[in-house]
Each structure stands twice: as structure tokens, then as C-alpha cells.
Structure 1
Amino acid sequence: MAEQQPSTTAAPPCRPAGTTEHSWCKAVPGGTGITVLALLLSKSLDISLLQNALHKLQNSNPILKSQLHYEPATNSYSYIIPSTSHLQIQPFDLSSTAQILRRIKTPNLNSVSDFHLILEHEINCNSWANTATSSSSGTHKLQMLDPSLNTATTSESDIDVLFASIYRLDDEKSVVTLRIHTSVCDRAAALALLRKLLELMSSEKQDGEGTELELLKKMEVGLGIEEYIPAGKANKPFWARGIDMVGYGLNALRFSNLKFMDTESTRGSQVVKLQLNKEDTDRILDGCKTRDIKLCGLLAAAGLIAAHSSKGLNENQWEKYGIVTLINCRSILDPVLSPDFPGFYHSAILNTHDVKGGDDLWELAKRSYTSFANAKNNNKHFSDMGDLNFLMCKAIDNPGLTPSSSLRTSLISVFEDPVIDTSSKVHQEIGLEDFSGCASVHGVGPSIAIFDTIRDGQLDCACVYPFPLHTREQMMELIGEMKRILVDW
């Protein structure tokens, strides 16, 4: 009898999470960093077509088919990369979708579209809530799970980093959602994934014509962002690092916040839109160009003025606010990464600003943007990366270090550059009526996270906030005031 040979099946590749990725792996279970792309389609969709397209994209971008593994013994995370994609789309028929909408819809939401409600529903579905335990006594308040969706069941389970669902609104209309762990997919990667998916679906409808081969060019599994920082850019003397850490901590204690409406109830994330017409958008973009600043500075300034105004303070009363600006670092890493390289390759700069009533919008915008630009020129986005990651993890483990245990670390977060999107023949071909992309913030994070897009020349911002720490009425009033400030300057 021939001797049985031992199995030679190799274990799938596994890569440990980098420092920034580790911070996101700690943040997502508490409710910050659940990235969602939602697409409203007006044409009937073949689920098998979508699933095949997603499998191809995952196989060509291996980090997006990985499973997140948590090792309790070492309190570490890693990504296990299977050989092929095994993603299965979760379908919700008309009855299931209607049931979900009935459960989350309240009388004051009659003016909110079903598409908008499904987007909010998805960013509150935490598939990774059990990927790690937390020492925080308040963690249970920050998890909003939905048993109708695919979620992790045990802390020992390896869990996918990407989930897909389809919600049927009627016989033709549907909402496609991708829910992704932010540690493997920042905003730039999510946008690239969306564009590739739409083009791939279109090219498949055309029997493979077009750019499918280019779209499916296989990418490697990248390392954490720290491994790509150019030599010397992250250097900081030991004492300087200590002084900066103390400075960040003391400044945070002095930050003003929006009024907290409910600090005890279980939290989720909600979204309010800030939209301008093309005329107003052109006007503010021209104003930014004339003053040599970016849109992020103007949005931050409008938010600061609106926040101060919302408190009914004396005009000469000063308050200190924190602003986090997120930078897509792919073009300034070593080696340079392509714009569509999958993973998390953003860094952050935290600036503080003193604001009083009657501040001029453009003066404050110039001051805000100049502070950010100077910090970036001094490589603070690299040298302070470890400090900010450490402080974020400390806040997660010790909510009591933040005001009212709110886990708010700044007033506003903005992106250095907006997403630019233009309608195309591909959009018409698949019936794309609307789309939105944003991430949850009801764990650690800002009171307002602004995800800005210039869509067909019009500003369209998804403003995400933690609820019921802040209420929809409160945020609609604040965002409405921001819009008034931008339009009436």
C-alpha cells in the first residue's frame, strides 16, 4: 500500500496590519470607519453580473478580498488573503427592503428619500463589531448592529473586509451598496473601486469590449503607509515628540464642541447633505482660486462660523475649535503609488483655530488653509502620524478623556481635495441616478465629517455626524447655516 502523502496545501498569505491600519482596526468595532458606497439604479440589475464583476475586482485587488484576523494574545491584527474571492451579494427583495425602511423611518423623515435611508442603514451595520474586545466601559453604547445583515458572530472569527447588498425599491429601481473596512479602503481607493466597477459592468454588457483588461490589471498587496514614507520625512527628536504629544492633549481639553444632545444612548451615524447649484459652486471655486486656497479651507471656515453662531454667544466671545484635514498621500510616498492603489494611504493634520462672532468667511478660510498648508510643508502629516494614531487609540480605550465621554476629537474633518465626478455614457447605460460615498463617525471622531464631491460642476457634500449625540434637526440647522454663509458671502 502506498504511503499517504501529507497535505501540501499552503496556508493563504497573511500580512500584519501597519500602525495606522491597526488604529482603524481598533476604531471600526466602535463605529468609526465603516465606509459605504451606495448606488441608486433605475434599470433592472442582474445580480450575477454584479457578483462576477466584484469577484474580478477583488481578485485583481487582493487586499479587498482579505479577511481581518484578530489575535487576542498579542492584541494584533492581520489580513489573510485567500486565493480567490468568495464574496456573496446579500439580496433584499421588495418585502425585505420595505420592512427595513419601516423599521428605520419615523414621521420626521418623510422628506428623506429611501436611497438616503438605506445609505444610513448601511453605515450603521457594523460587520466588524466583534473583531476585538475593548477595555472601554462605554463601547456598548457605540455599536449599532442589524441582525438582518451579515455580521461577525464571534471575536475569534476571521471576517471579510468587504460586503455587498442589493435593495429592491420597486420592479426597476434598486440600491447597490458596498460596505468596506476603512483600513483597507480609504476614500480615494473607494472612488477608484466604484469607477472600475461601473466600467467593468458596462464592458461586460458589451461582451468584454473596452477597457476590461486594463481594469483587471492585478495589483500587489501593499504595505502599511508607514513603510512608504520617504526617508527622513517622519523624523522627530524624542523631546519634540513628547512636547507635541502634551500639546495635542492640552489643546484637546480646551476645544469647544457643538452642544451634545444625548450622551447616553446607543449611537449610530446619520447624514445631512450640503448641496449648491452650479452658479454658486463656480463662484466659491473661483474665490478659492483667486485667494490661492483650496475648498477644504473654505468648508472648514463655514463650519467654524456656523458652529459659533449656533451657540448664541456674544460676538466678541472666542472659542477654540479643532479641524482635521485628511491628505491622500499616494503621490508623495516612496515609491509613488498609483492613484487607484487599494488600501489606506491617507494621513491627517490637526489644526486649532480661535473663532469669534463676526469673523469674515474668506479671512478665516485663508487662515485655516494657511495653517494646514504650513503644517504639510513641514511634513507634519508624516512626523505626527504616530502621535495622532496613539491619541486616537487612547481615546478609544478611555472615552472619559474626551468631553462627556463623547469621543469627539475635533469639530470638523475635511479632505484636502474634493472628489470630481462627471456623468458619463457608462452612468446612462447602467441607469445610475445617484450615488453617495461616506464613512461612519459614531465611535471616535469629529462632530461633522465632510465628504465633498463636485458632481457635474455642483458641490455635493455628505456631512456625517454621530446620532443622537447630535440630532438631525440640530445638524440640518447647522448645515443650512453653512450653506447660507457660503452662498451669501
Structure 2
Amino acid sequence: MSCDVVDAAMGRPVGGSEYTWCRAVPGGTGIAVLAFLLSKPPLLSRLQTALHKLQNTHPILNSTLHFNPNASSFSFLTSPATPSLVVQSFDLSATSTLLVSGHDSAVSPFHQILEHHLNHDSWGHLHLSHTNVPVLFASIYELPDETWAVVLRLHVAACDRTTAASLLRELLPLTMEEDEGGEGRKKECSELSMAIEELMPSGEGKKGVWARGMDILAYSLNSVRLTNLKFEDTKSRRRSQVVRLQLNKNETDRVLAGCRKRGIKLCGALTAAGLMAAHGGKKSGKKYGVVTLIDCRSNLHPPLSSRDFGFYHSAILNTHEMEGGEDSLWDVAERAYEALSNSKKSNKHLSDMADLNLLMRKAMDNPGLTSSSSLRTSIMSVFEDTVIDNVDDGGGEMQREVGLEDFVGCASVHGVGPSIAMFDTIRNGHLDCVSVYPSPLHSRQQMQQFVASMKAILIHGGQL
């Protein structure tokens, strides 16, 4: 349907996966951040108008989260009123209060602002208040060296990685439009998106009580046997930090060619590089857990597109045993990808969704069930599909017009989650993996070394 704004107030209870994220965010996992580094000062009014248009087009971005203490439940609520999002703006003096003097020179001001937002929880006290909290916040920061950062912070229950990538593609053209008075031009809009559980094909997500119980027991028993990265500080308060794994175009082409030759996706190579970096030179066999996140939109009924905003990913947890041998990147990658493919063929990304949500919530409620009470559920997480962002596809002129120098999209993981979460993008032919980890459970130096090892393994594998 075509309309200026949603016709009537709408709302719905959160689904099972969304509820898990509502529980996870107060602990530090599930704060999504999209950060843009600009060489030109952004126009606040134009950015705010563009975001309002997106909220009119995608009502879930215009929604608030509401907690009902009587039922201990969460709901999305959206209003027919004009979006009320206000973009906050910080000049250089205000920004400087967030920048740490004497910080590691490798951590730029833009990087520091990104990490600040990964650890800025606007929803943690939702259950203590009687107000509704928006799912979307936006800020502009003036940085040193005449650069600016635009940051969008979203609740993951309303924004998976596909939503984040689509949001970027839709936002850039809107920021190029002249400000409009009144209500603006008409936009295509839809009803508040449904939860993934409501769109599951008939029978796909259902299990008998016995089968579900056995699967949960198997997941629980296997998880305590998994090997973790070395924990450096298990006591101090945690926060999410970021390191990046980047390959040049030639290196990226070689790795992608290796994947194509073997009929696997890039996630297989990233998984293998992570497993090999973790196992290092160990002579004995060790088991590691890897979570692969899968966009289920095409599997739902009716199928959804990338323009259907919300959280529509599921997870598959596979266990991989690494021996002390001399396996190559591609040996490990093919085994890892085969395990993922077999799990998908068995529909585990749909049938085990409720099981993994339950285990995630149990870990949050009982940290002692995890190694050293670390809340680590796996050694790493990857996405089945890589985000492709090519300037030559038509976005280059717009990116140059707004002065876009860099872009990062990721989510916090310092509550329950993996030791390292990989958010991979191929931008203009270059592989860029934003790697998020819980600090000080793992130190920046430790994770920089881990990522450097992964990079070396990928480069070497690409030459074979």
C-alpha cells in the first residue's frame, strides 16, 4: 500500500528470537551500530529528514520497545504520528570528552566513537521504567582532522545484518535529496513486520517434546567440552571492542577464487582461518564451536526480501575437531562448509531456532554453566553470506558526494556470545572483516594477534 505514514497505531508482542535479544541487550550483546566516517560536514536537517522517510517506509524503525512487568513480556509499538527521532550533534569540544587521551595510536577517533556506541545501552533499564524506548538513535560527531562521524545505534531485535545493509543503501540516496517542507513526498510503506516465528513454513519449527529435550541436552553437553581462546581477565566489567581484518584486492580475489574452485562460500574460509588461528601449533586434538548466522528471509512463508526490515536470522552451531596435523586452509574450509551445508539440508536453522534461543537465555541466567563464567557460547561467529558493497554498482557517486571515507556495521558481544564475531564485507573488491570481541576477557593485543594470524592463513591459502 502507498501512504505518507502508517494509518493507525500498531503493535505486537516480540517473537521468540526478538525476546532473546531483548534479554541479551542489558547484558551487553545485541547493540547494533552503523558508523560512517565523512570528510564533509553532514547536514543535520537533511540527515534527520532522510531518517524520518526511512521510518515512514519501515515502521519497525519508528517503533519503541515496551516492557510489561505483569507478564514479563516485550512488545513493539509504533505510532501514526510523524517520526520524532532527533539527531544529536556534538561539536569537537563535546566529542573530545569521549576520546581517550594517550589511547593506542592504532585506535582512531572514529574507532573510539564506534566502540563508545557499542557499549552505550539505551535499553538496559527498560524494565525499570514506564516509558517506551525507541529502537533507533542517531548522532553526528565532529572529529579531529576535519572529519565527521555519523552513527546510528539500533536494537538488534529490530535490525539484523541484512536490515543494516539495506538501511545503508536506502539512506544514502535520501541524504542527497533536498529538504522538503510539510509531510514530504509519498513513500511506499508496510505494516509493522511480523516476527520470524510467525512466518515459519508449516511444521518447520516444530519438534516433539522428547526430540527437543534430547537436542537441548546434546547442545548443553557438547558446549562444556568445547575449547575456548585463552581468557585474560574473567573478573572485570566487560565491553565490546573491535579489530579489523582487511585484505587488498589481489589477496581478496585469490581467496574468493579458492572458494569458487571448491564450491564453498567465503564463510567456510573465514571459519577455517579462525579455527586454525585458534588451534595454532597444538599437537593434541581439540573441539571448537562455531556459530553461523543465516538469513532466513527466502525460507519464510511468504518469502521476504532484503527490504523487509527486522530480525530474520537464525543460527547453526557446529562443532569442529582440530587435530595436530598439517591441514591446509582449504581442507578445513571444505569440512566446515560441508558441516554447515548438511545442517541446513536438515533444516536445523529452522528446527533448532527455539533450542538455541533457550540455551542462550539459560546461559544469561546462569553464567556458571559456561567456562569460567565467561558467557562464551562458541569460539567465533560468522555469517553465511557476505555483504557486497561495490562503488561501481551506482553508489560511488553518492558516496563521493557526501564524503564517505569509511563505513562500519557490527553489533556488541560482551554479554553472551562468541569470543570473536566476524562481520565481513567485500567493499570495492577488498575484504573487510569487522571483528568484535569482549574486553578484557580478551585483550586488544591478543585479538590483534589472532586476527593477524587469520589474515596470514587466508593470504597463504589464497596462493595455493
TM-score, normalised to structure 1, is: 0.89
**Percent identity of the aligned residues?**
56
1:141 equivalent in structure 2: none
Consecutive unaligned residues in structure 2, runs of 5 or more: 1-6
- 2:382 counterpart (411, 414, 434): 414
- 1:273 counterpart (222, 232, 244): 244
One-letter amino acid matched to 2:236? S
> Are 1:118 and 2:113 matched, yes or no?
yes
Cα distance in 2 for partners of 1:427, 1:272 equals 24
Task: Kindly state the Cα deviation for residue 267 of structure 1 after the two structures are TM-superposed.
Answer: 0.6
> Are 1:69 and 2:66 matched, yes or no?
yes
Check the 8 A contact 1:33/1:440 in 2, yes or no. Answer: yes
> Are 1:454 and 2:451 matched, yes or no?
no
2:4 equivalent in structure 1: none
2:457 equivalent in structure 1: 485
Cα distance in 1 for partners of 2:178, 2:381 equals 38
1:178 equivalent in structure 2: 152
The residue correspondences of 1:237-316 to structure 2 (distance < 5 A) are 237-309=208-280, 313=282, 315=283
TM-score, normalised to structure 2, is: 0.93
**3-state DSSP of counterpart to 2:436:** strand
The residue correspondences of 1:139-154 to structure 2 (distance < 5 A) are 154=128
1:95 equivalent in structure 2: 93
Task: Kindly state the Cα deviation for residue 232 of structure 1 after the two structures are TM-superposed.
Answer: 2.2
1:232 equivalent in structure 2: 203
Q: Deviations over 1:403-443 (max 9, x none)?
A: 11110000010000100001211101111111100000000
One-letter amino acid matched to 1:42? S
Task: Kindly state the Cα deviation for residue 379 of structure 1 after the two structures are TM-superposed.
Answer: 0.6
1:78 equivalent in structure 2: 75
**Further displaced range: 170-179 or 186-195:** 170-179
**3-state DSSP of counterpart to 1:254:** coil
One-letter amino acid matched to 1:449? A
**3-state DSSP of counterpart to 1:50:** helix
Count matched residues.
447
Cα distance in 1 for partners of 2:30, 2:129 equals 18
Over the aligned positions, Cα root-mean-square deviation in angstroms equals: 1.7
> Are 1:320 and 2:318 matched, yes or no?
no
> Are 1:401 and 2:369 matched, yes or no?
yes
Cα distance in 2 for partners of 1:172, 1:106 equals 20
Task: Kindly state the Cα deviation for residue 172 of structure 1 after the two structures are TM-superposed.
Answer: 4.5
Cα distance in 2 for partners of 1:338, 1:21 equals 19
> Are 1:335 and 2:302 matched, yes or no?
yes
Change in CA separation of 1:171 and 1:369 when aligned onto 2, cut-off 3 Å: closer
The residue correspondences of 1:336-355 to structure 2 (distance < 5 A) are 336-355=303-322
1:475 equivalent in structure 2: 447
Cα distance in 2 for partners of 1:305, 1:98 equals 40
**3-state DSSP of counterpart to 2:98:** helix
Check the 8 A contact 1:272/1:464 in 2, yes or no. Answer: yes
Change in CA separation of 1:38 and 1:187 when aligned onto 2, cut-off 3 Å: same
Cα distance in 2 for partners of 1:11, 1:278 equals 49
Consecutive unaligned residues in structure 1, runs of 5 or more: 1-9, 133-153
1:371 equivalent in structure 2: 339
**3-state DSSP of counterpart to 1:79:** strand
